[in-house]
Amino acid sequence: MEITESRHRDILVIAPVGRLDSTNAPIFDQRLSTTLERGDTAIVIDLSALDYISSIGLSVLLSVAKKVRRLEGRVALAGMNDRIRSVVEISGFTRIFEIHPTVETAVAAT
Amino acid sequence: MQITRLDVVLAADLADLGALMATLDHFAGVSGLSPDVAFKVQLCLDELVNNVIDHGYAPGAPGEIRLRIEHHGDRLAIEISDDAALFDPFSNPPPDLDLGVDDRPLGGLGVHLVRTLMTEARYAVDAGRNHVRLVLSLEPAS
């Protein structure tokens, strides 16, 4: 799967493209683990290029939230379309994540 | 009233899910389903079929999962039947969404999504097979 990264000051913006399903979610999980291991603990996950997410993709997001909390870092979700946002809300993740309409607002909120 | 129907027989193999999703996309197009409805159908079938393959069959064991989707004007009726170990996916309690991040377990969200996104979700055993029946009421524009 395609995953893009960019850096805004000390914040890493990481964007999965397409689908976070049982095929792709493990690849994104591995990338996030690598990101944390190299010391990037201020992360904005840009979901603006994401078309689809299933519970396996949601588990990857929850897993990174747990790890970032242990590392006393920060993770925010940004740029969700309405369908992705509805699934994130049904899953109760609005209580767990900072959620921003765009990457720009997520980066500016630090 | 025009009825559009899709019948699919799947092997119990996660590698077949990509082809199923493409088939569902095609059905949504032919049947005139909105992108929101197509997304819900894909997600719910993805969750339920994944669960059956992951938990219902021994690793590598053969299996047969049958799907039927019928579009009757203002409603979609979906039936999934399989020959896996008998199990009611709706028997587990819903997840506690008020827990903090440290206490939230990984997993357990798939069936919660199905129950929330569909209008009806029921389980039955028929002729020794698991049957899940879903109904999604459609907005008039769909």
* Torsions phi, psi for B55 (to 5 deg): -115, -20
Q: Which residues of B touch A66 (CB under 8 A)?
A: 101-102, 104
Distance from C-alpha of A13 to C-alpha of A19, rounded to nearest angstrom: 18
Look at residue A34 and tell me whether its pLDDT is greater than 70.
yes
- Contacting residues for B127 by C-beta, under 8 A, at least 6 apart: none
**Minimal Cβ distance to B106: which of A22, A62, A95:** A62
| Range B14-28 average pLDDT | 92
Instruction: Give the pLDDT of residue B60.
Output: 83
Q: Is the CB of residue A76 less than 8 Å away from at least one CB of chain B?
A: no
In this predicted structure, what is the pLDDT of residue B33? 94
Average pLDDT over residues A19-45: 96
Mapping DSSP onto H, E and C, the string for chain B reads: CCEEEEEEEEECCHHHHHHHHHHHHHHHHHHCCCHHHHHHHHHHHHHHHHHHHHHHCCCCCCCEEEEEEEEECCEEEEEEEECCCCCCHHHCCCCCCCCCCCCCCCCCCHHHHHHHHCCEEEEEEECCEEEEEEEEECCCCC
* Window from A14-28, A33-47, B11-25, B72-86 with minimum mean pLDDT: B11-25
**3-state DSSP helix/strand/coil % of chain A, to nearest 5:** 45, 30, 30
pLDDT exceeds 90 at position B59: no
A62, A65, A83: residue with CB nearest B39? A83
Contacts with B95 from chain A: Cβ below 8 Å: 92
Check B113 against A23: CB less than 8 A apart.
no
* CA–CA dist B94, A64 (Å, integer): 22
Query: Taking residues A3-21, what's their average pLDDT?
Result: 96
CA nearest A61 in B: which residue? B106
What is the model's pLDDT at position B15?
A: 86
The topology (CATH level 3) of A3-108 is Transcription Regulator spoIIAA (3.30.750)
Q: In what order do the strands lie in the sheet with B75-82?
A: B3-11, B64-72, B75-82, B129-137, B120-126
Complex ipTM value: 0.94
Q: What pLDDT score was predicted for residue B142?
A: 41
Q: What does pLDDT average to over chain A?
A: 96
Question: Which conformational region is residue A79 in: left (phi greater than 0), alpha (psi within -120 to 50 degrees), or beta?
Answer: left
Rounded (5°) CA angle B103-B104-B109: 165
Which pLDDT score is estimated for B141? 53
Smallest CA–CA distance, residue A69 to chain B, in Å, is 8
User: What distance in Å separates the CA atoms of residue A110 and residue B101, rounded to the nearest whole number?
Assistant: 20
Q: Which of A19, A51, A54 to mutate to test the interface with B (most CBs of B within 10 A)?
A: A54
d(CA A80, CA A54): 14
Ordered domains of chain B (ranges, CATH): 3-137 (3.30.565.10)
Q: What is the dihedral of CA A55, A57, A58, A62, to 10 degrees?
A: 130
User: CB distance B98–A56 less than 8 Å?
Assistant: no
Q: Are A42 and A110 in contact (CB under 8 A)?
A: yes
CB contact under 8 A, A55 and B109: yes
Q: For A92-103, write each residue's pLDDT tens digit.
A: 999 999 999 999
